[in-house]
Amino acid sequence: MNSAYRCWAEIDLGALRDNLAWLRRRAGPQVRILTVVKADAYGHGLKQIAALLMQSGTDLFGVANLTEARAIRQVGKGWPILMLGACLPEEIETAVRDAVMPTISSMDEARLFASAAKRLHKPVDLHVKVDTGMGRLGATIRDAAALIRQIEQMEGLKLAGVYTHFALAEDDPGFTRLQRTRFGQVIRDLRRTGIHAPLFHSNNSAGVLCEPRSNLGLVRPGLLVYGILPKGRRRLPSEVAPWLRPALSWRCRVSLVKEISRGTPLSYGRTFIAPRKMKVATLTAGYGDGYLRAGSNRAEVLIGGRRCRVLGRITMDQMLADVSAVPHAKPGDEVVLIGRQGDGQISAQDVADWCDTVAWEVLTNISSRVPRVYRGAQAA
């Protein structure tokens, strides 16, 4: 137990290294890996995770904004970085100056980048996105090949990649197959006209697991790097479970234990009334630390290796748990919000299910006031 903290997250860097190695084997030796590190590396700590991934063999990084790109540059210069979202007009010069590869969906964007490249005397490597069914960014199937042909002719612009994004690869093989077919048509149209992009890519984490035929020249794993499987209706490869390990565990401590009598209300709103005499622990974590309030009266934690139900509403800095079945529970004891304790385990997906959300939100919601403690390897 780390007695220096009331609430903290532990990151197993060895697990991250092993997960990336498994992904490398899964994708194949000829396929490059773009590791998605947006949202503070899914809550794991961007700079430390970027340093580890640089040492462990990632080829590119995927970010959501230029601040994340700048943080990676502070750790190691020269790494290819793809901005997965669209640049705002006022961000374009910074992206060019910082050599962050933009995602282009339209000719208007291409013209703005070409103009910035000319002003700054700096060429721009870019990726064109094709909308095959996600509906956020990307040129239409009808317009994509023509857009790319025009970009190829524009001074200062260099086509580094063409990609699409699967909307529900973990759930719907039929729609994913349609997206793959649409993207394949764009690739064929380009090759017929003599355009060969250095990289074509489509597979996210779910695609890597469920659509190996779509690995193409590059894959973009996010959740898998951190050892968490995307939840869906499709059957996952049997070899996944023994190899991937969640890298993050989240812990806090018991601050108080007390006996309450039948009929005692707990926390704001009196949403829990004790049905019997109970022993209740106050815990040093709440929604100010990022634990989702939707887990009130639904979530569970581990104390003394036993699952203990959260009672009443989760508050900003504290929550309550039923420790009636943990006779020796006392102030100072370690509480596991996500992770292992004894024979018990609570996953990020468990928390997501209790809160009616997804594991991505659970991880990225862990707040900056929660210290990240790194185990298992040196990090920056």
Q: Which residues are catalytic?
A: 38, 268
Structure tokens at 196: 């060969």
Euclidean distance between CA atoms 175 and 48, whole angstroms = 37
Distance of CA 205 to the CA centre of its chain: 10
Contact present, 311 and 321 (Cβ < 8 Å): yes
Residues in Cβ contact with 196 at an 8 Å cutoff, skipping those fewer than 6 apart: 190
Contact present, 363 and 339 (Cβ < 8 Å): no
Interhelix angle 46-56/13-27, rounded to 10 degrees, is 50
Residues in Cβ contact with 61 at an 8 Å cutoff, skipping those fewer than 6 apart: 34, 35, 36, 37, 50, 53, 69, 72, 79, 80, 81, 82
Structure tokens at 106: 């339209």
Euclidean distance between CA atoms 129 and 234, whole angstroms = 26
